[in-house]
Chains A and B, each alone.
Chain A
Amino acid sequence: MIKPMKNVNLVVVFSILTFAACTSSDGDYQGSGTAGKHVVGDTARDFQSEKVIKFPELQEYITTSTDDKVKVINFWATWCAPCIKELPFIDSLRYTYDPDKVEVLLVSLDFPDQLSKVNKLLQRKKLSSTVWLLDESDPNLYIDKVDPSWTGALPATLLVRNSTDQRIFLGKELTKAELETHINKLLN
């Protein structure tokens, strides 16, 4: 069950985020005990990497080719158990593949006032990929633009390689092996 935090002023959230990012890269700005604390050797999250976006920005990211990379765009949410199962191995693609070849973007479909919940999860799972939170209330404005075969169910993953005009949409929970097989297809 989602128990949304009511009326969190985004400006405040962002101020806090920025503040935390500026004062300490390890800062546990949530003040929420030890769960999210990093120990020496961990990769601290760059708090500025989570941003709340509208769909056109995501669409531009999906369709613009500035390089030869395979973009792995994973749609998830903190309330989606199968999504959370996938996140660690999607995040670890950064180590499996050359960062010049494969790039990961995690698109959270949590609501904007749940950014702190998203942050907590990212910290707890020690995920370092870039995360955007998609702030659109009407899914029919974007689902088909991501991919017409997307039913809207989470998780969903879009693989794009613009330099070769290839894309694969995977509207289901994946295993690490499945995901890598699809990425390899686009790389070859």
Chain B
Amino acid sequence: MKYVNLVVIFSLLTFFACTSSDSDYQVSDIPGGYMPGDTARDFQLKNVNGKMVSLANYENAKGYIVIFTCNTCPYAAMYEERIIELHKKFADKGYPVIAINPNDESEEPGDSYDEMIVQAKEKGYRFPYVQDKTQEITKAYGATNTPHVYVLNKDRKVVYIGSIDNNARDAESADKFYVEDAIKALENNKTPEISKTKAIGCTIKWAS
């Protein structure tokens, strides 16, 4: 990160703290990224079965659960079962999971396309597990961690960004189910009460 004037940062902090607690004012290495309310772009990314996947392929979708996740992050592993469950629970209702692996495979060989195929097969993924080889989609969405969830409505409007629930370690102990709540809100034509959360996770491995 380049030299940044602290006075400016603090002014910004103060300004945004007063205007919106959700504001993405950060001086980040990844410019852009979506906020709730933005319209997310579609993509065309290669699935583990060799076919290209786009959101537009889903003719009857009422929304999408787009999850940036990977093979190698322990937090992604902790949430893997819950991701599988989300798809099981909501795909038939019109909200499919689309998992995107954002990691550069030379930075993280465990996330290579071939390893993704192995992972999807071993864990019996019923949803696409696509590779964002150029990391263009990851950057456009502004994903920073794995796992990082974007719930979109049928018009690709972002209604929720963040974690699946509030307990990575133990699904049983979670008592806030952010993604499920977002989908319930969509079902009722409402905006989710909580539209953005944060989670501990692994940094996305960017191509150098």
A binds B: yes
Chain B positions 1 through 25: 1 when the CB is less than 8 Å from some CB of chain A, otherwise 0: 1010010000001001100010001
Binary per-residue interface labels of chain A (1-22) against chain B in the complex, 1 for a CB within 8 Å, 0 otherwise: 1101000000000000000000
Of the candidates A82, A137, A148, A172, the one whose C-beta lies within 8 Å of that of B13 is A148
With CB as the reference atom, state the residue of chain A lying closest to B6: A166
How far is B26's CA from A140's CA once the two chains are assembled, in angstroms?
A: 17
- Grouping DSSP codes into helix (H, G, I), strand (E, B) and loop, the B interface class, with mixed when no group exceeds half, is loop
> Do B167 and A137 touch across chains, with their CB atoms under 8 A apart?
yes
B112 to chain A, nearest CB (A): 16
Closest B residue to A178 by CB, please name it. Answer: B1
In Å, the complex CA distance between A152 and B161 comes to: 13
Residue pair B169, A137 in contact (C-beta under 8 Å): yes
Q: Which one of A140, A152, A168, A185 lies within 8 Å of B201 (CB-CB)? A: A152
Q: Is B173 an interface residue (CB 8 A)?
A: yes
Inter-chain contact B199/A2, CB cutoff 8 Å: no
Is A109 located at the chain interface by the 8 A CB criterion?
yes
User: B134 at the A/B interface (Cβ < 8 Å)?
Assistant: no
Chain B: interface residue count, which band?
20 to 34
**Chain B residues closer than 8 Å to A4, beta-carbon distance:** 169
| B53 on interface, CB distance cutoff 8 Å | no
B9 → chain A, closest Cβ, in Å? 8
Residues of A in contact with B, size category: 20 to 34
Asked if B170 is at the interface of the complex by the 8 Å CB criterion, the answer is: yes
Partner of B28, one of A140, A149, A173: A149
Judge if A139 is at the interface, Cβ distance under 8 Å: yes
Q: Known: A1-B77, A137-B166. Contact between A173 and B203, CB under 8 A?
A: yes
13 intermolecular pairs with C-beta atoms under 8 Å apart:
A137-B170, A139-B168, A140-B166, A143-B198, A149-B25, A149-B26, A152-B144, A152-B199, A152-B200, A167-B6, A172-B1, A172-B29, A185-B3
Q: A137-B166, A150-B198, A155-B203 are in contact. List 6 more A-B contacts (CB 8 A).
A: A82-B203, A137-B167, A140-B199, A149-B25, A149-B27, A153-B202
Interface residues of B (CB under 8 A from A): 1, 3, 6, 13, 16-17, 21, 25-29, 74, 77-78, 144-145, 163, 166-170, 173, 176, 197-204
